[in-house]
Amino acid sequence: MAEPPAQGCALVTGASRGIGAAIARALAGDGWPVGVNYRAGREAAEAVVAEIEAAGGRAVAVEGDVADHSTPDGLFQAVEAHFGCPVLALVNNAGITDDDLTPTLTDQAWDAVIETDLNAAFRLMRRALKPMMRARFGRIVNVSSVVGLRANPGQANYAAAKAGLIALTRTAAVEVARRGITVNAVAPGWIDTDMTAGVSTELLSQVPARRAGTPHEVAACVRFLASAEASYVTGAVLSVDGGLAA
Ligand code: NAP
């Protein structure tokens, strides 16, 4: 088990399955005590924790709907109290889609996706930054999407949220760069998870690598961005998409 790059713990939102679960496992493998956030999937989150502990790591499952404005304080307090240290690595991974073409996209679908995929990340970053500034160390990684970089018909709400997340990442990065805190984004392409399970695989013909990515391939990039070695990488958007955005 490696030493974490700081005397702190990590919080990964939406870590009960998919990309978030892989990120939680990867950070724990680097020695971070990890808060495994979930909304509904308690059993799945507890299984991720058990897997991390079986591999010699430390983790705790923490319930919280990130779309709820009151969630950040409770979430951070639960993780900090459990491990007895501040959250010095935050991964905003929780995300949803609610697809439709723009002329028929409902206010409800627009609001739900913007709230979960963009507004929540802002609120969690705001809560994370104060202890990171005190520690003069912090790692924030936001999970955006290739759809924030190039058009995908039927995903106007998701694209707006993910492009907004990139702008938020860049702006926050330059605001806190002097304080030892890095803020970066990853932009996955098509990754094999529940989110893409029902989507036609025809789209894979557009991917230069001609295959879907795995959650582990995204997690490996997040792991690097959260590491001590990534100390001079900030405001960056790392595509993990088999060449789709190239
Ligand atoms: P997924 O398999 O659908 O898993 C989503 C995760 O987010 C679950 O753990 C879910 O928790 C959690 N979640 C959803 N809404 C939440 C909320 N309001 N509060 C707390 N947790 C919430 O999705 P995924 O494919 O792993 O995607 C993870 C991230 O990568 C998302 O931000 C997604 O937009 C992004 N991404 C995915 C792809 C892809 O191809 N899969 C590509 C680009 C970007 P519960 O199960 O407990 O509800």
For ligand 1, the distance from its centroid to the CA atom of residue 117, given in whole angstroms, is 9
Beta strand 181-188 pairing with 138-143: parallel
The top-level CATH class assigned to 9-240 is: alpha beta
Longest dimension (CA), the chain: 52
Beta strand 181-188 pairing with 59-63: unpaired
Helices (H), 103-181: 107-114, 120-135, 156-176
Q: pLDDT tens, 157-174?
A: 999 999 999 999 999 999
Spell out which residues line ligand 1, taking CB within 6 angstroms.
Answer: 13-20, 37-41, 65-67, 93-96, 116, 143, 145, 188, 190-191, 193-196
What is the structure's pLDDT at 198?
A: 85
Residue that the structure tokens 């702006």 belong to: 171
Mutational pocket test of ligand 1: of 23, 36, 39, the residue with most ligand atoms within 8 Å of the beta carbon: 39
Q: What is the CA radius of gyration of the chain?
A: 17
The residues, any chain, with a CB within 8 Å of residue 13's CB and separated by 6 or more, are 20, 37, 66, 91, 92, 93, 94, 120, 124
117 Cα nearest atom in ligand 1: 32
> What are the extents of the domains in the chain?
9-240
Question: Would you place residue 200 in the very low, low, confident or very high pLDDT band (cuts 50, 70, 90)?
Answer: confident
Q: What amino acid positions are annotated as catalytic residues?
A: 158
Could you tell me the sign of the dihedral formed by the alpha carbons of 64, 65, 67, 68, in that order? negative
The pTM of this model reads 0.98
For ligand 1, the distance from its centroid to the CA atom of residue 214, given in whole angstroms, is 14
Q: pLDDT tens, 23-82?
A: 999 999 999 999 999 999 999 999 999 999 999 999 999 999 999 999 999 999 999 999
Q: pLDDT tens, 111-152?
A: 999 999 999 999 999 999 999 999 999 999 999 999 999 999
